[in-house]
Amino acid sequence: MQTAIAPQELRPTVMEVDLSALTHNLQCIRAHVGAAKIMAVVKANAYGHGLAECARQLAADGADYLGVALVEEGIELRRAGITKSILVFGGIWGGQIAHYLDYDLDITASSADKLHAIDETAAASGRRARVHLKIDTGLGRIGVQWDRLSPFADAVLAARNCDIIGVFSHFATADEADQTFAREQLRRFHETLDYLRSRGITWQYAHTANSAAILTLPEATFDMVRPGLILYGVAPGTHLQNVLPLRAAMTLKSKVVYFKVIHAGQGISYGQHFHAEHDTRIATVPVGYGDGYFRRLSGRGEVLIRGSRHPIVGNVCMDQMMVDIGPGGTAYNGDEVVLIGAQDKETITVAELAETLETTPHEILTSTNLRVPRVYL
């Protein structure tokens, strides 16, 4: 009879997720926002950390709500036994609505037509739909435009099978140093709430503060906040890194699986874009863009081996990459290689990689795919 094999026994490349860091970060956010409810955002596989595992931890730690992007994410959480209220942020099409009702998921209503479809489906099934009204205050993605609310309010008042749980919007620039447009969005959201109240519409939660707004706009707290990135210990901008004492939850690591000496002039990897200037030592690491590690880090990124930084040389391959440890460097097969995280006194952060690649920390966190096993600490 075959016995179960731990993921880390099959692959030297793993993502370690420190669940106690999630607990710590949630506590920091709770202390920062006071009495407001917290909707823990676990969309995109909990920002790459593992949907069910992180949601289960955050629910146990006292998160009031969970937020996902897709109905299938909500269904996965229900099938995992999670009973917390779950809001699905994304836009809907008619065929999905019954699944929201079947799995007791809160629905985003982003137009009068969609709200009507939700109401009709709920009526036909003999159930009530839990709805959050989505207002576009400037992001331009989905939602009723803040200055065109009258037909939408009519639809809300006509919906007999919907419970209005929330009204929400989303900031476009809360992570930037210039808060001018974020404050304009906040003004528009206040105006929206005032108008809906004037029409006799009520709700439980107004919510618009994402991670950045939690750190920069305390006046945007309202009844509930929606932390995402900061739950996983990553600030949404370098200027916001010290607002809360966050702890990174993720470490991406692998091991040296091959070691060789190459001579001056010898090339490495596809395209032969790197040629050694002198005799040096090269370690091969079994991780590549097939795992979601960025090919754009070819010749630009670094890893940690034995507590020191070493450059990636040559093109990152689909399954492997090469690291120059220098003519006097030492590495052995099985040595730990850290791609994101700490080793001894050195750390490679998500923010560092985002800056190198001129992208957001969100892309870094969510890029590691499911071929890389998650190991929960």
User: 3-state SS of 233-279?
Assistant: CCCCCHHHCCCCCCCCCEEEEEECCEEEEECCCCEECHHHCEECCCC
Q: How far is CA 364 from CA 25, 104, 112, 229, 328, in A?
A: 19, 32, 36, 11, 32
DSSP string of 155-210, one letter each residue: HHHH-SSEEEEEEE---SSTTSS--HHHHHHHHHHHHHHHHHHHTT---SEEEEE-
Q: Output the CA torsion sign for 110, 113, 118, 119.
A: positive
Cβ atoms within 10 A of the Cβ of 358, count? 7
Successive 10-residue mean pLDDT values, the chain, 377 residues: 65 96 98 97 98 98 98 98 97 90 98 96 97 97 96 97 98 95 98 98 98 97 98 94 96 96 96 96 97 97 97 98 93 95 96 96 96 95
Chain-centre distance for alpha carbon 186: 23
Cβ atoms within 10 A of the Cβ of 76, count? 17
Q: How far is CA 182 from CA 49, 68, 139, 174, in A?
A: 29, 23, 10, 5
- For residue 94, the 8-state DSSP code is G
Determine which helix (DSSP H) or strand (DSSP E) holds 102, and give its type and residue range.
helix 97-102
Structure tokens at 39: 């909707």
Determine which helix (DSSP H) or strand (DSSP E) holds 40, and give its type and residue range.
strand 37-41
Report pLDDT for 11.
Answer: 85
| Beta strand pairing call for 280-285 and 267-268 | unpaired
Active-site residue set: 43, 270
pTM of this structure:
0.94
Identify the CATH assignment for 250-376 out of 3.10.310.50, 1.25.40.340, 3.90.1150.10, 2.40.37.10: 2.40.37.10
Q: Which residues contact 169 (CB under 8 A, 6 or more apart)?
A: 134, 135, 136, 137, 139, 143, 146, 185, 188, 189, 192, 208
Determine which helix (DSSP H) or strand (DSSP E) holds 313, and give its type and residue range.
strand 308-313
Q: Which residues contact 35 (CB under 8 A, 6 or more apart)?
A: none
Report pLDDT for 1.
Answer: 61
Q: For tokens 């207002």, what's the residue?
A: 135
| Beta strand pairing call for 205-209 and 14-17 | unpaired
d(CA 233, CA 229): 7
Identify the CATH assignment for 19-233 out of 3.30.230.10, 2.40.50.140, 3.20.20.10, 3.40.50.2300: 3.20.20.10
Specify the 3-state DSSP secondary structure of 334. Answer: coil
Listed residue (372, 362, 370) closest to 339, CA to CA = 372
Cβ 198 vs Cβ 153: under 8 Å:
no
> Quick one: residue 26, left, alpha or beta (phi over 0 = left, psi -120 to 50 = alpha)?
alpha
Q: How far is CA 323 from CA 12, 91, 187, 282, in A?
A: 16, 44, 51, 6
Q: How far is CA 157 from CA 115, 161, 165, 200, in A?
A: 11, 11, 14, 8
Report pLDDT for 328.
Answer: 86
User: Would you list the domain boundaries of the chain?
Assistant: 19-233, 250-376
Report pLDDT for 322.
Answer: 98
Specify the 3-state DSSP secondary structure of 145. Answer: strand
Listed residue (8, 27, 13, 14) closest to 233, CA to CA = 27
